[in-house]
Every structure is written in structure tokens, then in C-alpha cells.
Amino acid sequence: MAHRHEVIVVGAGGAGLATALYAAREGADVAVITKLYPTRSHTGAAQGGIGAALGNVEEDHWEWHMFDTVKGGDYLTDQDAAEVFAKEVIEAVLELEHMGLPFDRLPNGKIAQRRFGGHTKDWGKAPVHRAAHAADRTGHMILQTLYQQCVKHNITFYNEFHVTDVILEDGVAKGLVAYELATGELHLFQAKAIVIASGGFGRIYKVTSNAYTLTGDLQAILYRKGLPLEDMEFYQFHPTGLYPLGILLTEGARGEGGILRNALGERFMERYAPTIKDLAPRDMVSRAMYLEVREGRGVGPKKDHVLLDLTHLPPEVIEKKLPDITEFSRIYLGVDPLKEPVPVMPTAHYAMGGIPTTLWGQVIQDEKNTVVPGLYAAGEAACVSLHGANRLGTNSLGDLVVFGRRAGIHAARFAKDADYHELKADHLGESRERIERIKNSTGKEKVAVLRAELQQSMMDHASVFRTGELLAKQVEILKELMDRYRNISIEDKGDAYNTELVEALELGYLLEVSEALVHSALNRTESRGAHAREDYPERDDGNWLKHTLAYKVADGKVAFRYKPVVLGRFEPKARTY
Amino acid sequence: MQVTLKILRFDPAKHEKPTWQTYQVEAEPTDRVLDLLHKVKWDQDGTLAFRRSCGHGICGSDAMLINGKNRLACKTLVKDLGSVITVEPIRGLPVERDLIVDMEPFFAAYRAVKPYLINEEPPPARERLQSPEERERFDHGTKCILCASCTTSCPVFWVNGTYLGPAAIVQAHRFIFDSRDRGKRERFKALGSGSGVWRCRTAYNCTEACPREIPVTQLIEEVKRAILFDRF
């Protein structure tokens, strides 16, 4: 079947819905393609808040937010992006409130705000209340509110459609191919503008806060087509994943006063970040936790994790402001945070890198910022680059509304002046062939086995700490896994809801994004933000104050180009807290 | 421990009607039912189809009937069920394949109550003010993840497919009692109709089924009262 819409958005998370909504408000005919049902997307898992210098609790300025974002990103953040962001996120939060988002309130009726990692006043002097929140389900509320508005605007949704191809002809984005899960049918979508907002890929790792469905599909599809992925080496581990599952426990818990302790009961963050302690940025806290474990001060029979202590907080703060994580802890661990500390360990959480874009979400294809006409990206799938080498907590929700809105507005205006393109070829063929090959294969390799090997090896060789030796080993493992991937077979040969086929396709994407990540990490011989090389422990601004663009040139081979970091107000300085 | 997992299977291409299939799975007491379904799918039988996404109870994808009750597979642990576990699709929506049902009738009811803030007054430059007490008034409804556990546990919904169902009424409640909203009369049209709240027989199945501990029946009663008092 064939469909036409002026603007087609891939993904129905926060970024996709914000994009769709603002494009619709511009008067465009908008459709959203999602491989889930709307409201199932992982924005709903974001807990703690959305940072904006509203100044509702204490003095705050967008310039302080911009500074924190740049410093938090270890100066790899593009400062033009950080400036646009810190200013516009204030307006975006107020617009969400006007749309009905149920923020928590202060006694004077204004939106409530709390502290979060890396957010400071007076250029780093002390923590600041900047995270606007709705209990510990701020992401859930954003996702629901944006979906409610999409319902109000009658936006078309293609639910449970799995995009298998982006049609690029003559250097122009013309449409998409998608596999309808209910029927097994392939659909052709023609669009004047396409916005990729399909989220991250935490499922390359064994321990992750990410949904099973976060498999980097569209990053991999564009990468296969020769478009670059930017700064893939920077992958964030969130310090407080519930041990051993990796389910997220919000940084807001530390924002409310929670403390990390090692086996000796020490508040170890005092040694690593004396000024803001447990509210240091995530990369620093995750590394500190690993070091505590490595030096024998870990907790538990395997001494492999630490504790998040909330027991000194008033019970009503925990019950009212952190109800969901309290429930997770009780259900999955049988631990009551009111009475005993919660076992935690770093968990794979967020891709700072992704599809490179301009400040208006236009996808770029090289170091000269040449745009691909009609192609946009926003949210975690994209890299503008706001988060640089490490994202501050709450800046993901801010990113997806600010840059989702910008991508939606620009895509709608672009579409207004554009025509639908003629398609030169039968674009369904390639997808059909890939699907048939998997369905008809008699190979002996199992998807679940390969995926588990990938996830374990990425954990062992390319997680919080890296070395050249480990990364080189992972390059070889990935080559072998890709070879074996050609011999996968599946049992389900049916057409209706063939979820086994979908998992097989997703494994292919996981392998591709892992390749881009590992090669980029091996290539960058310095330590910056979330990329900690033990063989190159120092930040090296002389050689590496630049963005990586990774290109797939052949199976197992990756080429690099570089883009300068956009500097401005803030000179790179040593990053201490 | 060994767990016997009985799953109600249905493939429209193969089966006339749903049939039970039994699997033996090695499980830890702390495993989620979702983990068991994955063990079956990944190690024993790739053709088993079910929905899931987040895996910890906040996306609402994996509502199913587990040992006779509506629950989320990712929030239900083996130790709370015992060594024989039955899994079926939620009831009252057309089964499309195995544990996957057609959610469209559920979302059609959701859309019918206008589940979005209605307020045409020009917004202020800053936020609309709302006291913590006004915010608390509708807090329960904001927890809803649209998993359909409540609606598909409701006997009235099973019998009368046109009933809006508990989830849609909870969504309406969330806005009716929001001090910023001006649209309750518009919502009352659907809610007060023959398919609306008066169908509710107060069976409490919805409240028992809700994985987010929303007092669904209470919220439905509050909507009934809001409609009644609006008439006088």
C-alpha cells in the first residue's frame, strides 16, 4: 500500500510527538509512524524532571543553565545549541504547562523545581533548584500530554509499523518503507519532509535502563546508506540503575538528598566532587562507583555494587516525590527505601551521539554541514550537539521538546514550499528481500544467542572505562558477530505479528550502531565526558576538541571525518565540581 | 525452580480457535513473568507473540491475564504465583495473535472523552497557577498508563462492547477535576450517554486490576456525581 503525507515523523516518543504537534500547528498534513502504540515509548520512563531556568524556587538564569550544559558536556557541547536550548526550554516548559501538563506545584501555585546532577548557580558554586517535575514520572506526563495534544489535532498515526528503509534518491529524502506488524505487508510512504525521532539504542548493552525496543533502527538504516553518525563514542551510563536489573532510579532521589555509600558506609562522592558531591554529573559519579568497586569497597556477596541511601529523608518526601522508584525497589528487590538503602549500579542509559543535525533539526551529511534536503532528526536519535561528551540529567526531556519543536516547525515550512518527489525505482524490493532472506534462511545461528553475546561483550569492552586493547578486541568480536548474523534463521514464518522477525531485524541494527560506537571510541585517544580511556586518561583539547563523524565504508570498516566544536562564551577549562 | 507455563495460543493462519500450549521453564522466584515469556520465545519457541517495551511497568504494553487476573507481565514475579502459571490475552478485545489484542476499540473510547486540556482563554505569559491541593485533586488519573487492564477486566465491557470503559472515564476524570480545564460539559456528552458512566455496575474489577493502584471505581463514582450535580 502507498501513503502520502507532507511531513512524516518516525517515532512517537517525546521528540516525535513534539515534532508532529508543532508541524501540525504550522498547518502541515502530518503522520507519525511508530513501531509501538503511542504512549509506549521510552520517554515515559524518564523520571526526575525537565531542567529550565524558571527561577521559581531560587534565583536562576538561562546563562547558568547554558554554562552547566557546556561544562557538563566536557566542552564538546556546541555552544550555539546550548544557548538556543537554555533560552527556549523555559518557553517550552511553560507551553507544556499551558497544554495541561500536571507539574507538581509550589505553595504559591507555580511549577515546583528540584535539584539535579550538574545543575548549579553562580557558575558552579552550589546546586540549584532547576528541574521542573511531576512526581518521579515527569517523562510519563510529557509523553501523555503531547499525545493528548496530537489527538486534539487529529494527527494520523500508523501504529506498529516498523520502518525498514529511508528512500534517498539524488541526495534527497523522498519517503519511507515500513513493515506493518499486524499483516506483514510492506507500505510505501511518500513525504516532502521526514523527521527521524526514533530514540536511542541502549539494548547494545547487557545492563540498561532502556526498553527492549530501543535498538537504534533508524541510526543504523542511515549509517548503512552512507550517512554519518556523530560522536557515537559518548554513551552515558546512569549511576543509579537498580541492581542487578538496571531499571532506572532517578537522579532526583539524590536531588532530594539521597546519598551514595560504599561497603564501609562512606559517602564516597566527597572525595571525587567535593563541592557538589552526589550531585556531580553522571559520567563522574558512574566512574567513581566503578572505582569504589574496583578498590574492594563494593557491597554484596560479589562486592560489585554500591548503595543509595534515602533512609534519612522524611518518609513523606520519599512517598510523595519519589513514589515510582520506591515501588520499583519494593517490587523487584523487596527493599523498602524508607527503611534500608537500595542496591544500585551504573546502567546504560543515553546516547549523546546520533544523527548529526543543524539547530533546526536538518540532517547533515558531512563536516561542512551540508544538509540532506527533506530529512530531519530530533531527540535521542539525533546529535545537535547539545549534550557534548556527557548529558546533564533533565536535559533529555528539554532537548526533545526544544529541538522537536524546531524540527517540526522547520519541516512543516520546508514542506509547504516543496512538491512530492517522483520515485525512480521500486523501493519495496530491498526491504522485501531482506525480510524474505531472514524468513527463508536455514542457517543455524539464533537471534537471542547472538544478541546476548553482543550485549555481554559490549559491557565487557566498551562501557564505563575503555582501553585501546579492549576496544580492538571488540572490533574483532563485532566482525565475527556480523558474519554469524548472515546465518540467522527464525521459526516463525507467518505474516501476522511476526515479532521474531522484528527482533531479527533489530539485531542487525544493534550490530551496526555498536560498530559505529566501538570504532569511534577506539579512534578517540583521549578521555572526555562519558568516554574514559584508561590508556589516555587526560582530556586532549589540542587534538580532540572536535566532533567525530563515523561513516560505514565497508563491512567492518569505518572512516572518520571531523567537525569543529562551536565555541563561544565559555573557554574550555578543567572540569572540577 | 521449574515452572509450568500454560499459554493460550492463537494464530489466525493456523487455528480455528485459541488452544493451550504448555512449556516447562527454569525460573528464579524473582523472575518476572515477562522473563519467562522471553525464555520461551528465545530458547524454545520463536513463534510465541506478545507485546512488551519498557519491562518495568510504565509503558503499559504487556497487560495480560495471568493466573486469571489482569496484570502486567513485567510487574508480576514468579514468587507471587507459584509453579503453575497460566497466561491468556486480556478479554473483550479481538485477539489478533497469541497474547496480542486489537487495541483500537480501547483507544477509540479514549478519544471519545476528549482526553486533553480544554481551555480557550489566552494563556498567561508564565504558567497558569494551581495550588498543590488543586493539583492533588486529579493526581490519581495522571498515573494511568493506558494498559487496558481495568477496561478489559470489566464485566460490563465484556458484555457491552460500546461501553466507554473504566480507562476512558479515568482520563475524563483527570481533566474534569483539573482547575485549569473548561471542557467538562463537552466531555459529559459522551460520559452521560448510554455508553457512558451509567453502565458502570460498581463491580470493582477495575480497581483490583489496576497495576498503578488507581482507585478506578472511586474515580468513576466521582464522575457520576459531577454529571448529576451539573444537572441541578
Q: Which helix (H) or strand (E) holds A383?
A: strand A382-383
CA distance A167 to A344: 43
Which of A21, A35, A36, A39 is the mutation pick for testing B, counting most B CBs within 10 A? A39
Which residue stretches of A198-251 are H helix? 217-224
Q: Which three cell numbers stand for residue A314?
A: 522524611
Place of cell 558552579: A124
Residue pair B211/B144 in contact by the 8 Å Cβ criterion: no
A98 and B123 within 8 Å at the Cβ level: the answer is: yes
B13 and A44 within 8 Å at the Cβ level: the answer is: no
Average pLDDT, chain B: 96
Give the residue-averaged pLDDT of B186-201: 95
In this predicted structure, the answer to whether residue B70 has a pLDDT above a threshold of 90 is yes
Which residue of the set A114, A203, A282, A451 is catalytic?
Answer: A282
| Minimal C-alpha gap between A244 and chain B (Å) | 11
Q: Which helix (H) or strand (E) holds A439?
A: helix A428-440
CA distance B215 to B218: 5
CA distance A318 to A323: 7
- Predicted pLDDT of residue A424: 87
User: Cα angle at A331 between A330 and A333, to 5 degrees?
Assistant: 70
Residue pair B215/B150 in contact by the 8 Å Cβ criterion: no
Q: Which amino acid is at A210?
A: N
In tens digits, chain A (577 residues) has pLDDT values of: 899 999 999 999 999 999 999 999 999 999 999 999 999 999 999 999 999 999 999 999 999 999 999 999 999 999 999 999 999 999 999 999 999 999 999 999 999 999 999 999 999 999 999 999 999 999 999 999 999 999 999 999 999 999 999 999 999 999 999 999 999 999 999 999 999 999 999 999 999 999 999 999 999 999 999 999 999 999 999 999 999 999 999 999 999 999 999 999 999 999 999 999 999 999 999 999 999 999 999 999 999 999 999 999 999 999 999 999 999 999 999 999 999 999 999 999 999 999 999 999 999 999 999 999 999 999 999 999 999 999 999 999 999 999 999 999 999 999 999 999 999 889 999 999 999 999 999 999 999 999 999 999 999 999 999 999 999 999 999 999 999 999 999 999 999 999 999 999 999 999 999 999 999 999 999 999 999 999 999 999 999 999 999 999 988 899 999 999 999 999 999 999 9
Q: How far is CA A307 from the centre of its chain?
A: 25
A149 and B116 within 8 Å at the Cβ level: the answer is: yes
> CA nearest A102 in B: which residue?
B135
Which of B33, B59, B111, B145 is the mutation pick for testing A, counting most A CBs within 10 A? B59
B117 and A99 within 8 Å at the Cβ level: the answer is: yes
Which of B54, B181, B182 is the mutation pick for testing A, counting most A CBs within 10 A? B54
**pLDDT tens-digit profile of A180-189?**
999 999 999 9
Is B95 in CB contact (< 8 Å) with chain A?
Answer: no
B49-77 burial, b for 16+ CB within 10 Å, e for fewer? bbbbbbbbbbbbbbbbbbbeebbbbbbbb
In this predicted structure, the answer to whether residue B231 has a pLDDT above a threshold of 80 is no
Closest by CA to A377, choosing from A396, A351, A359, is A359
| Minimal C-alpha gap between B81 and chain A (Å) | 14
Which residue stretches of A35-189 are H helix? 62-72, 79-98, 138-152
Residue pair A190/A21 in contact by the 8 Å Cβ criterion: no
Nearest to B53 among A40, A490, A494 (CB): A40
**pLDDT tens-digit profile of A527-541?**
999 999 999 999 999
A39 and B146 within 8 Å at the Cβ level: the answer is: yes
Closest by CA to A102, choosing from A55, A137, A51, is A137
CB-based burial label for A87 (10 Å; 0-12, 13-18, 19+): middle
Is B45 in CB contact (< 8 Å) with chain A?
Answer: yes
Identify the band that residue B232 occupies on the pLDDT scale cut at 50, 70 and 90: low
Is B52 in CB contact (< 8 Å) with chain A?
Answer: yes
CA distance A211 to A218: 16
CA distance A306 to A327: 20
CA distance A35 to A497: 12
CA distance A377 to B108: 30
CA distance B23 to B98: 15
CA pseudo-torsion sign A355, A359, A363, A368: negative
A39 and B60 within 8 Å at the Cβ level: the answer is: yes
Q: Which residues contact B18 (CB under 8 A, 6 or more apart)?
A: B8, B9, B10, B88, B95
Say what the pTM is.
Answer: 0.97
**Active-site residue, A282 included:** yes
CA distance A133 to B132: 13
> CA nearest A330 in B: which residue?
B75
Q: How far is CA A401 from the centre of its chain?
A: 14
> ipTM score of the complex?
0.97
Tell me the longest C-alpha to C-alpha distance in chain A.
68
A331 and B180 within 8 Å at the Cβ level: the answer is: no
B53 and A100 within 8 Å at the Cβ level: the answer is: no
Which tops the pLDDT comparison, A374 or B14? A374
Q: How far is CA A569 from the centre of its chain?
A: 26
Is B96 in CB contact (< 8 Å) with chain A?
Answer: yes
Closest by CA to B157, choosing from B85, B67, B220, B211, is B220
**pLDDT tens-digit profile of A18-45?**
999 999 999 999 999 999 999 999 999 9
Q: How far is CA B48 from CA A323, A498, B23, B99, B196, in A?
A: 34, 9, 11, 8, 36
CA distance A434 to B144: 39
Q: What is the DSSP letter of A543?
A: H
Tell me the longest C-alpha to C-alpha distance in chain B.
63
CA distance A338 to A191: 53
CA distance A330 to B158: 33
Closest by CA to A229, choosing from A363, A376, A388, is A363
Chain A residues closer than 8 Å to B13 by CB:
494-496
Average pLDDT, chain A: 97
Place of cell 444537572: B231
Is B108 in CB contact (< 8 Å) with chain A?
Answer: no
Q: What is the DSSP letter of B209?
A: H
